[in-house]
C-alpha cells in the first residue's frame, strides 16, 4: 500500500523522525559501500562508490537539516561532491591523502571526469527515494 500524500507530508514535517531515518540511511549507505568494495572490483566498485558517496552526503544533509527540501538536499550533496572532485585538480587532496587515510577516503586524490556523472546518479537516487517515501 502506498502511503497517502498526507502521511508523507506528516513524516517530512517531523524533524526527529526525519533525522533518525537519515542517520539510519547514512549507516546503510556506508555498509553498502563497504560491501561493494568487498564484493566488486574495477569500475563497478569505483563508480558505485562515487554514487554512494553523494548518497551519503544527501543523507547527512537530512540528518543535519531535516526540513530541507529533497531537491535542495540533492543539489547540495551534488555541489559538495563536485567541489571535492574539482579540488582534486589542485595538489591539496593528494598531499592530505598522503598524510591521512581519512583525508584520502573523503577527498580522494586524483580528478576523474566520469566521477562527476556518477555523483549526479547518487544525488538523483537520493532525491527519487525521498520523493517516493
Q: Closest by alpha carbon to 59, among 132, 131, 129, 126? A: 126
What is the distance between the alpha carbons of residues 1 and 60, in angstroms, rounded to a whole number? 28
* Tens of each residue's pLDDT in the chain, 133 residues: 444 454 455 456 789 999 999 999 999 999 999 999 999 999 999 999 999 999 999 999 999 999 999 999 999 999 999 999 999 999 999 899 889 999 988 898 889 999 999 999 999 999 999 988 7
Predicted structure pTM score: 0.86
Place of cell 553498502: 32
From residue 47, how far is each of 42, 43, 69, 90 by CA, in Å? 9, 6, 26, 22
Amino acid at each position: 500500500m502506498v502511503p497517502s500524500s498526507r502521511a508523507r507530508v506528516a513524516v517530512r514535517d517531523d524533524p526527529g523522525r526525519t533525522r533518525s531515518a537519515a542517520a539510519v540511511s547514512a549507516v546503510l549507505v556506508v555498509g553498502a559501500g563497504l560491501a561493494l568494495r568487498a564484493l566488486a572490483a574495477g569500475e563497478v566498485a569505483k563508480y558505485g562508490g562515487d554514487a554512494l558517496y553523494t548518497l551519503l552526503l544527501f543523507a547527512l544533509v537530512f540528518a543535519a537539516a531535516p526540513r530541507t527540501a529533497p531537491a535542495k538536499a540533492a543539489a547540495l550533496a551534488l555541489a559538495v561532491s563536485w567541489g571535492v572532485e574539482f579540488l582534486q585538480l589542485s595538489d591539496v587532496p593528494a598531499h592530505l591523502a598522503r598524510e591521512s587515510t581519512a583525508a584520502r577516503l573523503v577527498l580522494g586524490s586524483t580528478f576523474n571526469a566520469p566521477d562527476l556523472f556518477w555523483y549526479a546518479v547518487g544525488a538523483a537516487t537520493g532525491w527519487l527515494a525521498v520523493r517516493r517515501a
